[in-house]
Amino acid sequence: MGLLTEGEPLSWEETKKLSEHVKKHGIIQFINLYKKLRDRQGDVLKWGDEVEYMIIKFDDNNKTAKLSLRSDEILAKLNEKEEADPSGVKCLWRPEFGAYMIESTPGQPYGGLSAHFNIVEANMKYRRQEAMEQLQPNERIITFTNFLRLGCPNSTDPTSKPTPNSGYQRSLFLSDDAVFPGHPRFKTLATNIRQRRGEKVIINVPIYKDENVPSPFREDLRALGDDGSSEKVAKDDHVYMDAMGFGMGCCCLQVTFQASNIQEARTLYDQLTPFCPIMLALTAACPVYRGHLTDIDGRWFVISNSVDCRTRGERGLEPLKENERKIRTSRYGAVESYLSEQGAKYNDVPLLYDEEVFKQLLDNGIDRLLAQHVAHLFIRDCVCLMSTQLDQDDEVDTNHFENIQSTNWQSMRFKPPPPNSSIGWRVEFRPCDVQLTDFENAALVCFIVLLSRVILSYNLNLLIPISKVEENMTRGVKRDAVNTEKFWFRKDITSTADKSQSIEEEYGEFTVNEIINGKDGVFVGLMPLIVSYLNNMNIDADTHCTVQRYLKLIQKRAAGKLMTTASWLRKQITTHPDYKKDAKITEQINYDILKKVYDIQTGVQSCPELLGFCTTSKTTESVPTAIVNAIK
Ligand code: ADP
Ligand code: MG
Ligand code: MG
């Protein structure tokens, strides 16, 4: 997403006063945009990935690996090419929350050619190379979901101390210097979320109760400068965190695709929603928080809590104040309502929205499902407002709408076309933890895009009640969920709904293996459907070979024959000679694992338990001319 750079961010007090203004105009902007673009048809499939990286500084003499807080400097360099030739670059670089993070996307979205599946990985490799050119000799970029010692002493370069009594985050552990300084959005979000909430965010993750973890596990927070407020909310036997950076400082992998029209976008949004928790389990890569091994494998709820701006009243902890109402969820979370007609009857969680806004949308010709979705997004206050953004022309601008939309971080995002652009209605798939290698990340991206094609071509129906999807999200981050959890899933996804069946009869509990690979006579499996789709597709030999390898990886992960990144990390930690069965990640463990991670990413070391033996594909930098010519 492009970020506006002009102007100054307003204080929370000012933003709060103007929040109604932003919402009022944001809704009008959406209505205007909808009226102009609802009938837009015939957009072709385009899609693209977003990969987030962290920059690590290794010190091989002292055996340390730290977060290098140089992304601002590095990005300035990386963006020079784009500034000189915006449409000619192979990749785009963008800031992210951490001062050690960078994000990249392909220079142009990929199109509908099957041969595009074969250039994703090469493009990802190219990005690493391009970034490497801007790094200092000891710096490396890695795709790693959460830095193992994020928020531990001496974990950044330069070293920087937390400031519990001043600054944006007020964390006992994490310095504000770890927040990207080059754009005011990030620090403003951190400040305003904390101020709106009325206290610091609270994140408690159950610790992995290894033999030598004391019972109860409880840290001396007063010694870190706590005034008692953290001590009160930090749970026993949990790793406690208190800042936005602990969540938004995690790296993820996202995929966006363009639909041919708004209906198709709504269908894709709905159909992929029940699949999000399955991908949480399958891509789980995040078992460690603040230097401790924990009992969860994925980042999802950590981020959700890290940006939970609800007041105590809104969270139901104390009587409501004036203008407050109870809000069930954080602004980061699972999709809470389906958007397609088919999805309507599965919307079984109470959706909060403003009746007046809802009515305004209905009065302007927007149907109930879309109206309630948009009205629900707009229950959230604006938490970052720039002085230059205040007055907009609601006929042409959509910044106020985007302001609210882009701070509703849901498992799927429904993206309207930007005004005056060639871009169509899109959906974004957002649950995945990022994987170590380009091979894995490309595999996931291609798999998700293929799944979206199969859903549309075969008219699949994956819908189950949204409350069950929500329950699945909790299961998806559990330790080793791929092998030990069952997920609610629709039993028959290929035929149209049997009207004699009740909704409860339509779904059952399945393992990830059954959902992906199928179960004889019981469930068809998504992979066999993808394979059948591919067999009917005109696809060149190299692309075919690459895609086969990608699908194999996913099949094996789902079947538990290959480890998830989270399981692999657990094993690295618990078998490390320096590990004392105390759930602690020492500097040495951190260094050794990140070295290994880097070597695996660059292919210097193989890792069959994670990747199998077939980790190279036939990926190429561009679609071969013969293929381009053949379709002309
Ligand atoms: P976000 O809103 O999540 O910041 P961006 O709009 O920056 O996302 O882009 C996300 C992804 O969408 C990128 O991978 C980009 O290549 C891809 N993308 C860009 N244009 C289109 C399009 N017309 N259709 C589908 N994907 C697109
Ligand atoms: Mg991002
Ligand atoms: Mg995105």
Question: Which amino acid, 261?
Answer: N
Question: Which amino acid, 210?
Answer: D
Nearest Cα residue to 241 out of 150, 163, 165: 150
Using only C-alpha atoms, what is the Rg of the chain?
Answer: 24
Tokens 């001396």 — which residue?
220
Q: Is the CB of 256 under 6 A from ligand 1?
A: yes
Tokens 């206050």 — which residue?
381
Instruction: Please give the Cα distance from 613 to 592 (Å, whole number).
Output: 23
The ligand minimizing its distance to the Cα of 427 is 1
Q: Is the CB of 95 under 6 A from ligand 1?
A: no
What pLDDT sits at residue 625? 84
SS (H, E, C) 406-449: CCCEECEEEECCCCCCCCCCEEEECCCECCCCHHHHHHHHHHHH
Nearest Cα residue to 173 out of 235, 103, 246: 246
Instruction: Please give the Cα distance from 381 to 515 (Å, whole number).
Output: 38
Closest atom of ligand 1 to CA, residue 49:
14
Is the peptide bond preceding residue 158 cis, with omega within 30 degrees of 0?
Answer: yes
Q: Which alpha helices (H) appear in 154-228, and where do they start and end?
A: 184-197
Q: Which residues of the chain have pLDDT under 50?
A: none
- For 145-198, what is each residue's pLDDT tens digit? 999 999 999 999 999 999 999 999 999 999 999 999 999 999 999 999 999 999
**H helix or E strand, kind and range, residue 334:** none
Cβ count within 10 A of residue 566 = 26
Contact 589, 580 (CB under 8 A): no
SS (H, E, C) 350-371: CCCCCHHHHHHHHHCCCCHHHH
Mean pLDDT across the chain: 96
Nearest Cα residue to 186 out of 1, 451, 344, 456: 1
Number of H helices and E strands in the chain, helices first, is 23, 17
Q: Is the CB of 50 under 6 A from ligand 1?
A: yes
Q: Identify the residue whose C-alpha is closest to ligand 1 atom 2.
A: 1
What pLDDT sits at residue 472? 98
What pLDDT sits at residue 389? 87
Helix axes 565-574, 587-601, angle to 10 degrees: 140
- For 395-438, what is each residue's pLDDT tens digit? 999 999 999 999 999 999 999 999 889 999 999 999 999 999 99
Q: Identify the residue whose C-alpha is closest to ligand 1 atom 21.
A: 109
Closest atom of ligand 1 to CA, residue 257:
25
Q: Is the CB of 472 under 6 A from ligand 1?
A: no
- CA angle 254-432-69, nearest 5°? 75
Question: Which amino acid, 268?
Answer: L
- Token digits of residue 304: 């959700």
- To test the pocket of ligand 1, the residue of 101, 256, 257 to mutate (highest count of ligand atoms within 8 Å of its CB) is 256
Q: Is the CB of 181 under 6 A from ligand 1?
A: no
Mode of pairing for the β-strands spanning 203-206 and 139-142? unpaired
Question: Which amino acid, 224?
Answer: L
Task: Count the helix, strand and coil residues of the chain and give each as a percent rounded to the nearest 5.
Answer: 40, 15, 45
Instruction: Please give the Cα distance from 91 to 82 (Å, whole number).
Output: 8
Q: Identify the residue whose C-alpha is closest to ligand 1 atom 14.
A: 48
Ligand 3 center–CA 320 separation, angstroms: 34
- To test the pocket of ligand 1, the residue of 3, 4, 50 to mutate (highest count of ligand atoms within 8 Å of its CB) is 50
Ligand 1 center–CA 51 separation, angstroms: 12
Nearest Cα residue to 587 out of 147, 131, 145: 147
